[in-house]
Amino acid sequence: MNVSTPTASAEKNKLNLTEDWTVVVLGLLIIALSLAGLVIPTPGFGWSKAGDLTGKVFTGSNLAAIAGQFAFTYAVALVGTYLLGKPVRATLLGFPVVFGLTVLALLLAGNKTLKDLNLEAVIFSLSIGLIVGNLFKIPDWLRASLSTELFVKIGLVLLGTTVIFGDILKAGSLGLVQALLVVLSVWYFAYWISRQLKVDDELTMMLASAVSICGVSAAIATSGAIQGDSKKLSYVISLVLITAIPMMLIMPYAAQAMGLSPEVTGAWLGGTIDTTGAVVASGSLAGEEALKISTIVKFSQNVLLGLAAFAISVYWTYSHKTVTGVGGEQVEKPTLGVIWERFPKFVLGFIGASLLFSFVLSPSAIEPVKGSLKSLQGLWFALAFTSIGLETNFADLINQNSRKPLYAFLIAQAFNIGVTLVIAYFLFG
């Protein structure tokens, strides 16, 4: 199954909305409802021993918060299903199952031991989905309810609320300069090495974006922009999350051994480690100043996500000699109409949300809603990866990906570590 297919993207529903426009409407509706006062409580899933489950997680107030998130996301999923012209009955039956499995993943991710390893919730969602989907026969009504594209793209629109341009600009321009240099150089190298190793086009684009921009979110956005295969997306995200762990633990001590200043250390960590959580954990090991700089640099790279998705979608359209036109005809050269038709509209939602929270809303308006929106964003991503796992045959996931994409990823990551260290040294040293 593809994260987005030309047929699905072009299919119009009764309200004349494409799938991507439906996502933009739903994402911005969630934001509008939050700003209007409908703030969904954020449940806690942190625990270290069995007693914490009853004392912290399974309390009345926390269960009520989980139920609140369920009711809200259930309603949004049903509205999205209706707008897309899909069977509402399947979502009525299937979404509670997907949500239940996702809550189990969030519980595992909340365990202190696993959390210290910085294993993100999406890897548990994907793993649980794969286990259930491969050990049991998935009924048709559950399979029909799996709305991976809808969940992923709603999460990406909400991700825009956390990318605050103002905070980054106030903190200084060096982070943005480094982010631009790193993204351009590492993306091109990752693309080049993938082509040298004859990695297929879709994996090449996802790998290059994941290594150079911001890991999981960049891989998801790129997959949406190029209408990529969800199995390949799962593979790339697994690589990102697995390699982030040793980098997070080793790099702070390597920086100390090389005698790097806290500023250079932070810039190096923020520019190379591919997940925000791992950047924060690694920066904390290196000290307060390193943590501050690493966060600024990572946020600076996140800012480039929307622009990168736009550029990738245009490149992807032009790089194929024959593409599908707006009316379904085959054309040799893409027109502006074709580019607009294939442009991932969720990027507009992402950028719009980021601009709104960066330059329009006051801090007093943002503060009451930012925690809830951040939690919902993570939940939509987790729901998406539970869905991907449920619809993916594990043997296909393993067999489809040879060692070449792994080699390409590791070589590109090594290049990323080296070139980012040089750039960080000259900018922050």
Distance of CA 272 to the CA centre of its chain: 17
Which of residues 280 and 362 earns the better pLDDT score?
362
109-136 average pLDDT score: 84
207: pLDDT confidence band, cut at 50, 70 and 90?
Answer: very high
Phi and psi torsions of 343, nearest 5°: -65, 130
Sequence-separated (6 or more) residues with CB below 8 Å from residue 17: 25, 83
Residue 231 CA to residue 103 CA, distance in Å, equals 22
The per-residue pLDDT for range 218-239, each reduced to its tens digit, is: 888 888 778 788 778 888 887 8
153: pLDDT confidence band, cut at 50, 70 and 90?
Answer: confident
pTM more than 0.85: no
The per-residue pLDDT for range 55-86, each reduced to its tens digit, is: 889 999 999 999 999 999 999 999 999 988 88
355-364 average pLDDT score: 90
The per-residue pLDDT for range 254-310, each reduced to its tens digit, is: 998 999 999 899 999 988 987 766 786 688 778 878 887 887 788 777 777 777 777
User: What is the per-residue pLDDT for 325?
Assistant: 47
Among 70-74, 114-118, 209-213, 334-338, the range with the most confident prediction by mean pLDDT is 70-74
Q: What percent of the chain has pLDDT over 70?
A: 84
